[in-house]
Amino acid sequence: MKLSMPRFDQAPVLVVGDVMLDRYWHGGTSRISPEAPVPVVKVEQIEDRPGGAANVALNIAALGAPVALVGVTGEDEACQSLSDSLAAAGVQAHFQRLDHQPTIVKLRVMSRHQQLLRMDFEEPFDTDPAALLGEVESLLAGVKVLVLSDYGKGALKNHQALIQAARGRGIPVLADPKGKDFEIYRGASLITPNLGEFEAIVGRCADEAELVAKGAALMRSLELDALLVTRGEHGMTLLRPDQAALHLPARAREVFDVTGAGDTVISTLAAALAAGAELPQAVALANLAASIVVAKLGTACVSAPELRRAIQREEGSGRGTMTVEQLLTVVEDARAQGEKIVFTNGCFDILHAGHVTYLEQARAQGDRLIVAVNDDASVSRLKGPGRPINTVDRRMAVLAGLEAVDWVVCFAEDTPESLLAQVRPDVLVKGGDYGVDQVVGAELVKAWGGEVRVLGLVENSSTTAIVEKIRKA
């Protein structure tokens, strides 16, 4: 299955559910308490992160998708912390604030990246379901997917009314279910139970065949369009009526903390579907995102650059020949990592020792080297009849095989100025014996603060000379 990065910026999502604050107290431990056989933690850092439905919304925002959140909180300091964090991330939060109940807080005491203790401050919310439904209905216009993030804390008391409100407008509804009554999710587009939650409803599954059979029965019973069962180290299974089951293996190389992994799955799935991805591709992206987040500590998000890099690794497009669109994507990610981009260009018709040395020197000017290659028609115009000797795809393939070269792209114009304007490299490099101001594109690069460098050529190395030698022979 081929994966690509969706246009998340065009994928508005509405999340409704149980919001909570995940609070972390970090500190060192060096002694045991004289009062009881427990470690003493000297708290040195306090960290607040949005949790529950708020974490789902935060994950969607981290991918670059527009997102609104509806939930229930208290009127307290924890609610303010949540509001500030969500606003900073671009999430539009609409809270039903109850002054007689506290915002749900889950406090974790951490030392040396280990959780020593968790304390939950919560009461089931006395939600006004009619007011919450009214808030949701006012926000559905323009939304492409509705997510019900259910933690069983009381924010969601009218699941059916919410599902019908969205489905009546043609909006898919994804639900992350809780509890032992899945009837409340009847008519949803898709639900995403983990294996434990699924088996609590349908009974233990001895193998995948039984999981598929019981899943199909559950879909029929609840009138679901699809069912996604997340299975931890065994990956996830997507079931759809009258279609073969899709089993995706777990991608995680290292599992550090599974906190919030389910939130990452449903948020990536929702954003991808809202962006127009087909369901199998959206599930594959969610599986990939989950592999990233479980390698992080605590409630965490997966950013768009992280997911894009993971897709590139999956598709084998981290290096080598690329389209202009692919190149712009990897350059953006490299810049996000603080890497310096070097650009050079040429015909590179018959690759020789002079080219190899020059490209090694060019690569040394930064962290990533782009080689832009004239296409065949352009080479013909520049070099005359009979050139190029090698077609552009062959020239690019040879260049991509060099250790010094990260990315190879072709251009059709006689000069690379248009491509330079799109890539905006940090350093433009050319080989020759002319001045910096004579380099094509030099003024462009200088205009955005880039550098232009001229490197010497290796003597007695020339494609033209090689061609002439062959002709004489």
Q: Is 232 left (phi over 0), alpha (psi -120 to 50) or beta?
A: left
| Catalytic residue annotation | 263
pLDDT of residue 83: 96
Q: 65 or 354: whose pLDDT is higher?
A: 65
Is the confidence at residue 434, as pLDDT, over 80? no
The CA distance from 176 to 214, in Å, is: 18
- Mean of the per-residue pLDDT values of the chain: 89
Q: For residue range 311-342, what is the model confidence (pLDDT) as tens digits?
A: 877 765 567 888 898 888 788 878 877 899 99
pLDDT of residue 136: 96
pLDDT of residue 326: 80
Q: Which of 10-19, 187-196, 299-308, 398-407 has the weakest average pLDDT? A: 299-308
> Mean pLDDT, to the nearest integer, of 110-120?
92
With beta carbons less than 8 A apart as the criterion, state whether 22 and 55 touch.
Answer: yes
Is the confidence at residue 293, as pLDDT, over 90? no
The CA distance from 55 to 176, in Å, is: 13
pLDDT of residue 299: 61
The CA distance from 422 to 307, in Å, is: 23
> Mean pLDDT, to the nearest integer, of 135-154?
94
Is the confidence at residue 254, as pLDDT, over 90? no
> Mean pLDDT, to the nearest integer, of 304-315?
78
Q: 293 or 295: whose pLDDT is higher?
A: 293
Q: For residue range 363-382, what is the model confidence (pLDDT) as tens digits?
A: 999 999 999 999 999 999 98
- From the list 466, 463, 455, 467, the residue with the least C-alpha distance to 357 is 455
pTM above 0.75, yes or no: no
pLDDT of residue 304: 83
> Mean pLDDT, to the nearest integer, of 158-168?
96
The CA distance from 86 to 297, in Å, is: 20
To the nearest whole percent, how much of the chain has pLDDT over 90? Answer: 68
pLDDT of residue 189: 97
Q: Which residue has the tokens 């409803």?
A: 201
pLDDT of residue 147: 98
> Mean pLDDT, to the nearest integer, of 282-301?
81
Tokens found for residue 97? 């604030």
With beta carbons less than 8 A apart as the criterion, state whether 282 and 265 touch.
Answer: no
Q: For residue range 176-196, what is the model confidence (pLDDT) as tens digits?
A: 999 889 999 999 999 999 999
Q: At 251, is the pLDDT very low, low, confident or very high (cuts 50, 70, 90)?
A: low
Q: Is 54 left (phi over 0), alpha (psi -120 to 50) or beta?
A: alpha
